[in-house]
Amino acid sequence: MKQNKQEWEVDLDPLLGNNAVAHSFRDFLLFIRTEKRYSENTFIGYQHDLSDFLRFLTTHLGNTPSLNDLQDLKTMDFRSWLAKLSQKDLAKTSIARALSAVRSWFRWMERHNLVSNPAIKSVRSPRLPKAVPKPVSVIDAKNLIQLAGELYDDDWQGKRDIAVFTLLYGCGLRISEALNLNIEDWPSDNTLVVFGKGGKQRRVPMLPQVKEAIALYQSATPYAQDPASPLFRGKKGGRLNPRQIQLSLQKMRPLLGLPDTATPHALRHAFATHILSGGGDLRSIQELLGHASLVSTQRYTEVDKDRLLGVYNAAHPRAK
């Protein structure tokens, strides 16, 4: 899949002025978007968090911050900012993300000999609850895929959603990875090359059911099959927006009695959890999911442990 190499414009907040800090802010964001290849959502999140941090400093210091001001910030200044975020009733995960964005920016400035401030390294992130993936069950995954074809009057859109959900569950893709595929990316053999976070490439084997669902969708779509065009298209022919898939699943949840945690990403969780339950090893699942660290993959052992405990409690005579 070809990566877009367009320049990303960064809108500088007029309140931040046009000084060296503002330009460092802009250059850092361009760096994470064009060189680090962070996703658009992460890029927007960093831009928001850093803008909020600089606006706080403008009030906290009584002036538009300079590079020298950033250099002289104390641990207490950063803690005051975090306290301000807490007063907004932000989730701990949002506060942790904001702190991560500021830390990354300060590391980047240090590498470019702009600012060196050891105080930011001593600020602790909020203690986050241990996140356990919430996959859908095998039966629910099958029901979601089947029902997806019944939400549209246009047959091709129903086949499209079936293909998307089958791909998410059958290959463990992120929704962004699936919808960024072009027709030329779809292989003739049984292995799909996927570009994940940071542009990292991985190879994912495809089940016959996945290939069949994609073939049925492609035979029904009214749009030309140009190699460089999106594999999954919206109603008007453009690249399918992730929000449309989220809305489709949102409509299906009450029909199938599923909780709000049944999202497109829950199908990726289901892919990993069901392979693990079937005897798959963590290293293989890590490669299939494209996780940089095995720690991320190990979360699925908690899901499987809960499943086994549920089976034990339901079946063992002494557990009753």
Angle between helices 294-315 and 282-289 (to 10 degrees): 120
268 catalytic? Reply is yes
* Residue 55 to residue 140: CA distance in whole angstroms: 46
> Which residue is catalytic, options 37, 97, 160, 268?
268
Return the pLDDT at 309. 57
Return the pLDDT at 34. 85
Q: Both 259 and 192 in a single domain?
A: yes
* Residue 246 to residue 148: CA distance in whole angstroms: 11
Which positions ≥6 away from 203 have C-beta within 8 Å?
A: 191, 192, 193, 194
Lowest mean pLDDT among 27-41, 93-107, 249-263: 27-41
Q: 3-class SS at 195?
A: strand
203 catalytic? Reply is no
291 catalytic? Reply is yes
> Which residue is catalytic, options 103, 197, 253, 299?
197
Q: Both 155 and 269 in a single domain?
A: yes
pTM of the model: 0.64
> Which residue is catalytic, options 174, 233, 269, 274?
174
* Residue 302 to residue 46: CA distance in whole angstroms: 30
Between residues 90 and 17, which one has the greater pLDDT?
90
Confidence of residue 3 (pLDDT cuts 50, 70, 90): very low
265 catalytic? Reply is yes
For the cut 70, the answer to whether the pLDDT of residue 50 exceeds it is yes
Q: Both 249 and 152 in a single domain?
A: yes
Q: Both 143 and 263 in a single domain?
A: yes
153 falls within a domain: yes
* Residue 102 to residue 85: CA distance in whole angstroms: 13
The 10s digit of each residue's pLDDT in 79-131 is 999 999 989 888 888 899 999 999 999 999 999 999 999 999 989 887 766 66
Confidence of residue 249 (pLDDT cuts 50, 70, 90): very high
Q: Both 96 and 20 in a single domain?
A: yes
Return the pLDDT at 283. 85
269 catalytic? Reply is no
Q: Both 18 and 72 in a single domain?
A: yes
Structural domain including 261 reads 138-275
Confidence of residue 281 (pLDDT cuts 50, 70, 90): confident
Return the pLDDT at 276. 83
Average pLDDT of span 216-235: 93
